[in-house]
Amino acid sequence: MYIGTCAYCNTAFNDLSYQCSACYLLKIPAIMKDIKMKEGQKITNESGASQSFIEADFSSIPPEVLRLLAQCLGFGARKYGKFNWKGIPIEDNLSHAMNHINEWNRGDRTEPHLVNAMARITFALYQAVASGEQPDRYIHPDMQQQG
């Protein structure tokens, strides 16, 4: 099954990883072109098994990072209430996220600044999607050029 070609190195793809094995090893984002797959479309793998195509690649989320975020959110839920963050303005969430990143950059390791920043950015992203300021689907300008 032909899926597409890496726009960076022209490697042909026959799987749904959306990452060129050559470019991925160099940590260069592979911009895909010629992808005809649509969300929910039936796909068949090499062993003949079928399933629906999904755009989201959840396997790309490092499980260690997801666990840290869940632990952080669990701590916050116990300390402040599960959805207390919904009452905090997006600007405050972004300010706190930037503060945590700054503290990390300054060398402060007295608290988990990076996961705290990720939690605050998660809250801000949720708020931006809920308010309509951010689409609920990932659309990068390079994707729109695919035609």
The domain tally of the chain equals 2
Is the residue at 147 inside a domain?
A: no
**Predicted local confidence at residue 52, as pLDDT:** 76
Same domain for 11 and 22? yes
Same domain for 108 and 76? yes
Is the residue at 22 inside a domain?
A: yes
Same domain for 80 and 103? yes
Residues 6+ apart with CB under 8 A from 95: none
Is the residue at 122 inside a domain?
A: yes
Q: What is the pTM of this model?
A: 0.67
Is the residue at 145 inside a domain?
A: no
Quickly state the pLDDT bin for 23 (edges 50, 70, 90). low
State the Cα–Cα distance between residues 13 and 22, nearest whole angstrom: 11
State the Cα–Cα distance between residues 141 and 123, nearest whole angstrom: 24
**Predicted local confidence at residue 66, as pLDDT:** 94
The structure tokens 């060129």 sit at 20
Quickly state the pLDDT bin for 42 (edges 50, 70, 90). confident
Domain of residue 27: give its range.
Answer: 4-59
